[in-house]
Every structure is written in structure tokens, then in C-alpha cells.
Amino acid sequence: MLAMPGQVLAGPATDQVKETVDQVLKILTDPTLKGERKAKERRAQLRRTVLERFDFSEMSKRSMGQYWKERTPDERNQFVGLFTDLLERAYVDRVEGYTGEQILYLGETADGNYSEVRTKIVTKRNQEIPIAYRLQKADSNSKWEVYDIVVEGVSLVNNYRTQFSKIIRTSSYQDLVKKMQAKVQGEEGAELGAPKSKVR
């Protein structure tokens, strides 16, 4: 397999994504964290691991699109907090369904301070789920932070931007906040959600 210009089979961004994924898998497979009684501790560890790698402020800004500049500093802080809770909840719910699927690292495309790490999950039924992590380098250090995830060609950020824009356009920003609060609190029938994989 030949790498195109700007493409590598592995690089710093891939190494850091793999490090985070390995930490998540270690938590999920830790026998001392199994079961419902350990759910709170297990989820707390998963959230800490995710927070270290994901740039939720950047994800929030990109998901709001054109409406971000209209928000006050207090509104931005509130939105980042809600969006972080929303994404953490969705991510933790999803990864807790891990049952030994194989994770493959396919390559990395780098462009200055931006990089995309391509991976693939292979289920026990040999179904494949392509997942790409989009990252940017944090200021003044070598840490790479995730600002978007693309699952089966669907961007998480673009998916939420479409939902958020529709709600703001047809109702109001305040209504969006109420819907996000309901989703975070786990209310039945609450709207908003990340794209779901078509593979089962």
C-alpha cells in the first residue's frame, strides 16, 4: 500500500488516538469495574479519558456554525457545558456496548496542525464500521485533540449542526437549550442525537 503525499500509515495523531482508545478498552475490560454496582466509577473513568483527548469547545463552536458568533460569553459557556455532557453521555453509552470487536488503524492524513486518523471496527459478524477521527494540534504543544468524528461517512459535527440550525431557525436558541437539557437529563422522547451506525 502506497501513501499519498501528506498521508502516512501512522503518525503522532494516530499514536495519541490509539493511546486513548487503549485506555478506554482497558477500563471496559477491567474486571474490577464490571457490573451495575461499578457503573458510576466506570463511567467517571471513561469521561476523564475522553475529556483528555476531545476538544469539546471546538466541537461546540463548529456544531453551532453561523449562530456561534451571535451568542454571548455566558451563553457560549453554557452551551459548551451542555454539549460536552450530551456528547459524553452518547459516547459512553456507545462504548459500553463493546464486546471484543477488533479495531484497525488504517492510516493518517496530516496537513499542518490538522490530521485525520482513519480506523475501522470489525464486528464478530465480520461487519465493518469505518470511523475517522479529525484532530487539530493544541496550541504550543504536541498534543492532538479530536474536534470531529466521522462514522460511516457521517460527520458528528455536521449532524449536530443540521439539528441545531433547524431548531434555532424554526424556534429559538432558548428552545435548543431546553432540548439539550432534556436530552442530558435522559428524559423520554427528548430530541437530538448522534448519527447511529447502520451496521448491527
Digit-coded pLDDT (tens) for 68-85:
999 999 999 999 999 999
Q: Write out pLDDT tens, residues 133-160.
A: 999 998 767 899 999 999 999 999 999 9
pLDDT at 161: 97
State pTM to two decimals: 0.86
Which amino acid appears at position 100 of this protein?
Answer: G
Torsion of CA 31, 89, 82, 157, to 10 degrees: 120
**Residue 75, φ and ψ in degrees, nearest 5:** -65, -40
Output 65 or 89, whichever has higher pLDDT: 65
Confidence tier at 132 by pLDDT (50, 70, 90): very high
| Pairwise CA distance, residues 116 & 149, whole Å | 9
| Pairwise CA distance, residues 162 & 148, whole Å | 14
Provide the percentage of residues in the chain whose pLDDT is more than 90: 74
pLDDT at 103: 94
Confidence tier at 186 by pLDDT (50, 70, 90): confident
Contact 64, 164 (CB under 8 A): yes
The CATH superfamily assigned to 10-184 is: Tgt2/MlaC (3.10.450.710)
